[in-house]
Every structure is written in structure tokens, then in C-alpha cells.
Amino acid sequence: MEVINIQGTDDTPNVILDKGKGKFELSGRSLPEDVNLFYQAILDWIDGYAEDPNDETEFDFKLEYFNTASSKIILDILLKFEEIVESGKKVKIIWHYHEEEEDMLEAGEEYADIVEIPFEYLPYSD
């Protein structure tokens, strides 16, 4: 599979989707002007990955901030990975949050309540 490696900006996250290296990461800030346009290629890639996923997948979310439109897309991403779990493969979400940002921890916990995927929460500081 082709690797997706998008360098983030002030409004869009860094994205790494690399099946061969087993590296899956969304980091930075997510408030793109057109959230559907930005994330379409990512969602399409995950659909392709779901057809032949690795035996184990760890997806790192290292988001500092995301807007409401992005929160819906994040849920869409998680639901796609939940389907991979249902197919018998292992998936774990690593939810990174700044130790002073309780909102981001709570957002991860809310997603964990919605999808049947193990979550691990990792605090970090500057």
C-alpha cells in the first residue's frame, strides 16, 4: 500500500499511515477549512487497509486541538478500525493528551465509550 505522509499546518494535522512500518498517527491541530476534502484520502486509505490489515495495529492520536467537524471524522476513523477488530485483528488506540488539557483526555474517553477498541491514555508535557 502507498504510504500517506502529510505534513501538518496550523489548521491541519500531521498524518502518517504506513502499513509496512506499522506506523499510524494523527498529530497536531485539526481544523481544516473543508474537513471532508482534507480527510477523504485518509478515509479511503483506511478502507483499503481494512481489506488486508496487519495482525496488530496501534494508532496514535496526538492531537492538541480539533474542531467539531474534525471530531465527527475522528469517530469515522475509529469506527473503521472497530470493523477491523470485528474481523478478528488486534487494534489499539494510543490517545496522547497534554497533562494540563483535561478536555483532550475526556474526548478520548468519550470515543472509547462509543467504539469497541482498547484505548491507552498517555499524558505528555512540554
- Read off the pLDDT of residues 62-74 as tens digits, 9 standing for 90 and up: 999 999 999 999 9
Contact of 43 with 69, CB cutoff 8 Å: no
Contact 82, 44 (CB under 8 A): no
**pLDDT number for residue 125:** 84
Q: Between residues 17 and 100, which one has the greater pLDDT?
A: 17
Q: Which CATH number fits domain 4-124: 3.30.479, 1.10.3470, 1.25.40, 3.30.750?
A: 3.30.750
Q: What is the pLDDT of residues 6-44, one digit of tens each?
A: 999 999 999 999 999 999 999 999 999 999 999 999 999
Joined grid coordinates for residue 18: 504506513
Q: Which residues pair with 123 in a beta bridge?
A: 97
The pTM for the full model equals 0.96
